[in-house]
Chains A and B, each alone.
Chain A
Amino acid sequence: MTRLLDIRNASRRFGGVLAVNDVTAHVDEGELVGLIGPNGAGKTTLFNLISGFTPLSSGTVAFGGRPLAGLTTNQVARLGMSRTFQNLRVFPNMTVFDNVSVGAVGALPQGALGALFGGLSESGRQRSADISRRTWEALEAVGLTQVAGELAANLPYGQRKYLEIARALAMKPRFLILDEPAAGLNDTETRDLAAFIKRLHGQGLTVMLVEHDMTLVMGICQRILVLASGRKIADGTPDAIRNDPAVLEAYLGVDA
């Protein structure tokens, strides 16, 4: 297996707070990895370090063998890493189709000249057609083709979650990071989502999910990373994590 994401001694300091403290971890190609931890453990910060949202204070992050230091968020995204957000960030005043097309046009940029004169050349028409096809495929993967013309703001909450995932999929990423995908979903919806994530993984996509919902993570992930107070305290299979004394202490506060 090839190493897709390689985090070495990553730290991030916010003023006096070490939000992420000397974390070393990795994700291999084709894995489905969970990242869990109590509130304030540094999950989202680590996530932001990986996706280039926040610069590292020290350490390195490499994606596909390439160090990410100095790259902007959109450059990291175009390397093939796409994400969703903890607090649902769809583009409310755009249609479902247009929302998803942003992921496609992000990965396959169309410039101003392409927009102006693309219709006149074969390659320009091909670019638009590719963006359109990717958008449809992503919409189809999440089952939102029937509402493609609706405004994103008018979708129910559960569908907006899938819309966000479709937008990330339209980039045809190598690595998909889902930030708390089950937040706000009921049990049935969470089960459906778990099955959907498993299906994506089954199609060969490497996935990492940051999650509070333990049943979701334990149920589908092959390997789980546990953060507490900015440090990595465990890394192993769901079974190993379930019985790890350090994890039990971090979550329940019991002396093991």
Chain B
Amino acid sequence: MNVSDLTAPGQTPSGLTAPDRRRGWILPALVALAVFVALPAALAAFDRGYFYQIANLALIFVLLSASMHLVTGVAGLLHLGHAAFYGVGAYTAALMTSKLGLGFTVTLPASGLVAAAVAFLVALPTMRLVSIYFAVATLAIGQMLYLVMLNWVEFTKGPNGVIVTKGFELFGFGLSGRIAAYYTVAVVVTLCVVAIGRLSHSYYGNALRSIREDDQCADAMGVRTVRLKMEAFTLSAFFAGVAGALWAHMTGYISPGDFKFSESILILAMVVVGGLGSLPGAVIGALLLILLPEGLRGLGDFRNVMVGLVMFLSILLLPKGLLGEVSALGLVRRQFGAAWRRTAGGEGIGWR
């Protein structure tokens, strides 16, 4: 069988436009330009520590939101304990630094791996749970991890928190200046978001989506549902752990309060406001919910009401999110020319 036999040449399936390979690089190039040139230039021009903090925080939450997008948006597992894995990563980095004297080069991967290992262990008994029961299980897991951080005083120093004695470094070269720290966070977050993009924009991602849509039916199609759910959960915890290491080395001080339930809900809100299942949406949602409260600082406590109002209105008017899954996938397919080959009917549809 040959596709071109059935589809007349030059015809494109409805709802699709053929990707233009040259134009496809404009958007990624613009984003890279903004993150690696324009923003650092602006930060350097103002040269205020506060702005650097906000930029780094926003990037870290972009990674948290993107990692939650993988498990909740793509695989459809409502995860109410994500911040706890962020915390496991942060504590791993902080304790490895303060107790073992290790640097960022080691603590960054270690944080991701420890968070993933913890997620894997707790996932073993919970992965057969479905829908709301799974959500409640993750809520309980998040609370358990939070209480360990809070109450295992001899190991985690409890509510006093941990001082992280070392900033960013790479194989012993210090990256402690403000601009170097910004670049470190930006590079790590970008690499991770690209990796999450590869995972969600692939046939692997399609298999995860099928579990979200109808897991029994996915099972009958040969999709290894339980294994894939565990992978999505573990991978998202890995990226949350990496975000935790960035946070620990960036602020120099962490405490259990940074990883409580309300943070999980904040990350969930980012994913939902941006658009469930949409990676660009998760990024936009994170930027909105971090930058909006900062921008509204002049309003005092009233800003929280404003943030709530923006969230409420966006859900009311755009229930599929600011950039919903369908438009996001269409965008990704066009921009990155994801079609694996140029066939008469299939341009821009398949994944590479």
A residues apposed to B, CB below 8 Å = 51, 53, 72-74, 77-78, 82-83, 85, 89, 91-95, 97-98, 101-107, 109-112, 114-116, 118-119, 125, 128-129, 131-132, 135-137, 140-141, 143, 145-151, 167-168, 171
Q: How far is it, in angstroms, between the C-alpha of A82 and the C-alpha of B216 when the chains are bound?
A: 13
CB of B287 within 8 A of chain A?
Answer: no
Contact between B224 and A136 (Cβ–Cβ < 8 Å)? no
Contact between A82 and B220 (Cβ–Cβ < 8 Å)? yes
Contact between B14 and A111 (Cβ–Cβ < 8 Å)? no
B196-233 residues at the A interface, CB under 8 angstroms:
198-199, 202-207, 209-210, 213-214, 216-225, 231
Residues of B within 8 A of A148 (CB): 13, 16, 345-346, 349
Closest 4 CB pairs of A and B: A106-B222, A91-B213, A115-B204, A115-B202
Q: How far is it, in angstroms, between the C-alpha of A104 and the C-alpha of B218 when the chains are bound?
A: 11
Q: Which of B1-9, B89-97, B145-153 touches A?
A: B1-9
Distance in Å from the Cβ of A9 to the closest Cβ of chain B? Answer: 25
Contact between B214 and A136 (Cβ–Cβ < 8 Å)? no
Q: How far is it, in angstroms, between the C-alpha of A132 and the C-alpha of B220 when the chains are bound?
A: 20
Q: List 6 A-B contacts (CB under 8 A).
A: A89-B217, A95-B329, A105-B223, A111-B231, A137-B1, A146-B7
Q: Which one, B202, B214, B325, contacts A110 given CB within 8 A?
A: B202
Contact between B343 and A136 (Cβ–Cβ < 8 Å)? yes
Contact between A77 and B1 (Cβ–Cβ < 8 Å)? no
Nearest chain A residue, comparing its CB with the CB of B344: A145
CB of B39 within 8 A of chain A?
Answer: no
Query: Assuming the A-B contacts A145-B3, A147-B13, A150-B15, are A95 and B349 also in contact, with contact meaning beta carbons closer than 8 angstroms in the complex?
Result: yes
> A interface, by DSSP: helix, strand, loop or mixed?
helix
Q: Which one, B16, B235, B277, contacts A112 given CB within 8 A?
A: B235
B235-292 residues at the A interface, CB under 8 angstroms:
235, 277
Contact between A94 and B220 (Cβ–Cβ < 8 Å)? no
Q: Which one, B224, B329, B343, B346, contacts A74 given CB within 8 A?
A: B224
Query: Assuming the A-B contacts A77-B219, A146-B345, are A112 and B207 also in contact, with contact meaning beta carbons closer than 8 angstroms in the complex?
Result: no
Residues of A within 8 A of B16 (CB): 148-149
Residues of A within 8 A of B170 (CB): none
Q: How far is it, in angstroms, between the C-alpha of A141 and the C-alpha of B14 when the chains are bound?
A: 19
Contact between A107 and B222 (Cβ–Cβ < 8 Å)? yes
Residues of B within 8 A of A94 (CB): 206, 209-210, 213
Q: Which one, B202, B222, B235, contacts A103 given CB within 8 A?
A: B222
B residues apposed to A, CB below 8 Å = 1, 3, 6-7, 11, 13-16, 195, 198-199, 202-207, 209-210, 213-214, 216-225, 231, 235, 277, 325-326, 329, 340-341, 343, 345-346, 349-352
Q: Which one, A73, A85, A111, contacts B204 given CB within 8 A?
A: A111
Contact between A115 and B198 (Cβ–Cβ < 8 Å)? yes
Contact between B221 and A77 (Cβ–Cβ < 8 Å)? yes
Nearest chain A residue, comparing its CB with the CB of B325: A93
Q: How far is it, in angstroms, between the C-alpha of A109 and the C-alpha of B343 when the chains are bound?
A: 23
Contact between A78 and B14 (Cβ–Cβ < 8 Å)? no
Contact between B217 and A91 (Cβ–Cβ < 8 Å)? yes
Q: How far is it, in angstroms, between the C-alpha of A132 and the C-alpha of B350 when the chains are bound?
A: 6
Nearest chain A residue, comparing its CB with the CB of B202: A115
Contact between B220 and A104 (Cβ–Cβ < 8 Å)? no
Contact between A150 and B198 (Cβ–Cβ < 8 Å)? no
Q: Which one, B204, B213, B224, B350, contacts A97 given CB within 8 A?
A: B350
Contact between B199 and A112 (Cβ–Cβ < 8 Å)? yes
Distance in Å from the Cβ of A110 to the closest Cβ of chain B? Answer: 5
Q: How far is it, in angstroms, between the C-alpha of A147 and the C-alpha of B346 when the chains are bound?
A: 10
Contact between A74 and B222 (Cβ–Cβ < 8 Å)? yes
Contact between A128 and B217 (Cβ–Cβ < 8 Å)? no
Residues of A within 8 A of B13 (CB): 145-150
Residues of B within 8 A of A136 (CB): 3, 343, 345-346
Contact between B225 and A74 (Cβ–Cβ < 8 Å)? yes
Contact between B7 and A93 (Cβ–Cβ < 8 Å)? no
Residues of B within 8 A of A95 (CB): 329, 349
Residues of A within 8 A of B15 (CB): 149-150
Q: Which one, A85, A91, A104, contacts B209 given CB within 8 A?
A: A91
Central interface residue in A89, A149, A168, by most chain B CB within 10 Å: A149
Nearest chain A residue, comparing its CB with the CB of B231: A112
Q: How far is it, in angstroms, between the C-alpha of A137 and the C-alpha of B14 when the chains are bound?
A: 18
Distance in Å from the Cβ of B93 to the closest Cβ of chain A? Answer: 23
Contact between B203 and A82 (Cβ–Cβ < 8 Å)? no
Q: How far is it, in angstroms, between the C-alpha of A129 and the C-alpha of B202 when the chains are bound?
A: 12
Contact between A171 and B222 (Cβ–Cβ < 8 Å)? yes
Q: How far is it, in angstroms, between the C-alpha of A51 and the C-alpha of B203 when the chains are bound?
A: 24
Q: Which one, A53, A105, A137, A145, contacts B345 given CB within 8 A?
A: A145
Central interface residue in A106, A118, A168, by most chain B CB within 10 Å: A106
Residues of A within 8 A of B341 (CB): 129, 132
Other A-B contacts than A93-B277, A109-B224, 19 sampled, CB-CB below 8 A, are A53-B216, A74-B225, A82-B221, A83-B220, A93-B325, A93-B326, A102-B209, A102-B223, A109-B207, A115-B198, A115-B199, A128-B350, A128-B352, A132-B351, A145-B3, A145-B7, A146-B13, A148-B345, A168-B221
Q: How far is it, in angstroms, between the C-alpha of A116 and the C-alpha of B1 when the chains are bound?
A: 30
Q: How far is it, in angstroms, between the C-alpha of A148 and the C-alpha of B207 when the chains are bound?
A: 17
Residues of A within 8 A of B203 (CB): 101, 104-105, 110, 115, 128, 131
Contact between B207 and A105 (Cβ–Cβ < 8 Å)? yes
Q: Which one, B7, B195, B326, contacts A116 given CB within 8 A?
A: B195
Nearest chain A residue, comparing its CB with the CB of B11: A146
Residues of A within 8 A of B221 (CB): 74, 77, 82, 102-103, 106, 167-168, 171
